[in-house]
Chains A and B, each alone.
Chain A
Amino acid sequence: MFDLVGFIPRAVAQGIPLLFGCTGEIITEKSGNLNLGIPGVMYVGAMSGVMGSFFYESSLADPAQFNALLGFLIPVLCCLLGSLLMGLIYCFLTVTLRANQNVTGLALTTFGVGFGNFFGGSLIALTGSDVPSIALGTTSSVFRTTIPVLSGLGWFGEIFFSYGFLAYLAIATALVASQVLLNTRVGLELRAVGESPATADAAGIDITRYKYIATCVGCMIAGLGGLYYVMDYANGVWSNDAFGDRGWLAIALVIFSVWRPTLAIPSSILFGGLYILYLYIPTGSDSAIREIYKMLPYVVTILVLVVSSMRNSRENQPPESLGLPYFREDR
């Protein structure tokens, strides 16, 4: 019998990093910037958080002095700061220096993944442990704190209340992002920048400022996805390259959720499920077939790309100027 109560929480836990990444990228893309550096940003976000909490944990003479509030604030702030810097690099190159967005994004990913693995490796060397990973159990336990009474409500609590607070933050962020994009002046102006920067410019909107802010906020949100992955999903254990290709999936999910943060919530969880579904499909005697099942999220992404391009409805289009730089003088 398929263990649905066991499956759903794992799917959600897999989906949350994707949701952070996807929400961040939606906000970025709404400003007309296609940031292919998100995978790198998520690595940097995760690693910055890990470094923050590592040095906090090791600065304590006695583990009993661990302050839960600091143990939570330090990694989160480090993560936001690291991701912000990545966003600034991207913006400086693509907006101020008008560089090609795809190439800049790929370079950012190379840099970010290298950053994560290098400092990950260095911290592992510092701890001198035998296993190639860093365990931050104390910090992780803070991040994994669940709501006391609700999480004990049998299958209901298991499915809805068994997560750390970052998971709820992810969903809240997506909802807030959706509200801001659709129902505020800032959101309207941001969408105008992404759709037609020339028009927005003529209306007196500061294009550069919107692109910078949207991209940097997007990166900070995406970075939290990396932090969630290490601190909550992976129980505070960092090992190099473990985060894998989730950043790319997050970018693909933007199309899946047709640039709507509210749709990103169910689609991320769905993809989280697809990501681990292979563990639940019986393989029989042929274990190699499991490698074929691992294709599922990618094949589904492709199908979604194809179907959404075939339907080609007017309201489900990417921002008109996505990927194109804007120079006032070029008009």
Chain B
Amino acid sequence: MVHISKRLRMPVAQAMAVRLGAIALALLVCGIITTLTTGLNPLDVYASMFDGAFGTERKFWVMLKEVAVLLCVSLALTPAFRMRFWNLGGEGQVLMGALVTAACMINLADLVPEGLLFVLMLVLAPVAGALWAAIPALFKARWNTNETLFTLMMNYVATQLVAYSIIKWESSKGSGKVGVINQSSNVGWLPAIGDNKYLLIVLLVALVCVAMYVYLAHSKHGFEIAVVGESVDTARYLGIKVNRVIVRTLLLSGAVCGFTGFLLVSGADHTITTTLAGGAGFTGVMVAWLAKFNPFAMIGSSFLLVFMEMGADEISTAFGLNHGFGDILTGVILFFIIGSEFFINYKLNFQAKEVEAHV
């Protein structure tokens, strides 16, 4: 008979070992799945995935950019999750920030000096994201409206707004694409440092990461968020205005998502599509959760997921598999990591049969 009991706390090193063990086991299972479904040698597939992320200097920087973007979205979602507010609307909040950024770049490039344009984008993109997050937050605070589905639906509303704008802005009638914005003048593009166009994004997100850590761990707001997350009643007893904390935290969450949208349009893609956020709003949930909401640990978990994503792209071209295969592998690895948490939080006590008879 197995008796399950809660562990007080597992040493960090041991917990990491369990997680790494889970990943190793997951890779083994993924290897078996790969061989069974495609007949390929899994080692070749993994080597190719590795190549996809680290193969060339360009790929490496693309990967760093992807990690930065995913990390930024995850950081944005974290304060809300700490409060047990399931913000599944990261996708939409990023899109709104991106939409506003693109609107500024398209409509204001000729009207205002570039410095002012950047100021406008840097202010308006977070505001747009914050508004998109504040709507569900207000209803949650006032009427306890289900935020999981509310934020989810806001994603689709944002997607359709972007789709509408794309048709309005499309480069040639009927193409359904905006094309590269300000391609000849590069107005509103985040500058490259040296000749590296992604370095600035990486640095900015690193700043956000440190700031978010300080905010959550060493500020009064961070403390209030933690208390509301643990127990709303305790928070009320302490005199914390719960509704205010919910709305304030979601404004922050949405603002950082909107900022990510700005980074994507002004810094990376220089165009806007409905799939610009590429599922980061959902992947970010898992990144934040895998890292136990620790901003620095999130660097590691977003790295893992981006590696899988880019590796999947690589194997899809190298072996003629399609992109879905990467999602399958990511799913399997996530299952294992999610499952491994059990062995970190709980202890299995195996009891001998005869002892049980006396109990």
Contacts and interface: CB of A to CB of B under 8 A. Distances in A.
Contacts of A298: 153-154, 156-157, 160
Contacts of B285: 102-103, 106
Interface stretch (A60-68, A138-146, A181-189, A302-310): A302-310
Contacts of B161: 291-292, 295
Given A306-B139, A329-B6, A301 B338 contact: no
A305 B339 contact: no
B343 to A, nearest CB: 8
B254 interface: no
Interface residues of A, number: 55
A47 to B, nearest CB: 10
Interface in A119-152: 119-122, 125
Interface string A100-128: 10111011111111111111111001000
B320 interface: yes
Interface stretch (B42-50, B57-65, B241-249, B323-331): B323-331
Contact of A310 (B143, B327, B334): B143
B327 A117 contact: yes
Nearest to B5: A329
Contacts of B338: 93, 97, 99-100, 103-104, 107
A16 interface: no
Given A99-B338, A252-B149, A114 B139 contact: no
Contacts of A3: none
B133 interface: no
A305 B145 contact: yes
A118 B148 contact: no
A95 to B, nearest CB: 11
Contacts of A111: 327-328, 330-332, 334-335
A114 B149 CA distance: 22
B73 to A, nearest CB: 14
21 contacts: A97-B339, A97-B341, A102-B148, A102-B285, A108-B331, A111-B330, A118-B322, A122-B321, A252-B149, A289-B164, A291-B160, A291-B163, A295-B156, A298-B154, A301-B149, A301-B153, A305-B149, A305-B150, A318-B146, A329-B4, A330-B6
Nearest to A311: B143
Contacts of B331: 107-108, 110-112, 114-115
A294 B160 contact: yes
A103 B342 CA distance: 14
A108 B286 CA distance: 12
A279 B300 CA distance: 46
A113 B327 contact: yes
A98 B346 contact: yes
A263 interface: no
A285 interface: no
B128 interface: no
A107 B335 CA distance: 7
Contacts of B282: 106, 109-110
A155 B163 CA distance: 36
B289 A114 contact: no
A242 to B, nearest CB: 13
Given A110-B330, A114-B330, A288 B164 contact: yes
A289 B323 CA distance: 32
A251 interface: yes
Interface in B151-202: 152-154, 156-157, 160-161, 163-164, 167-168
A295 B150 contact: no
B296 interface: no
A36 B328 CA distance: 17
Nearest to A300: B153
The listed residue with most B CB atoms (<10 A of its CB), out of A289, A302, A306, is A302
B144 A125 contact: no
A113 B4 contact: no
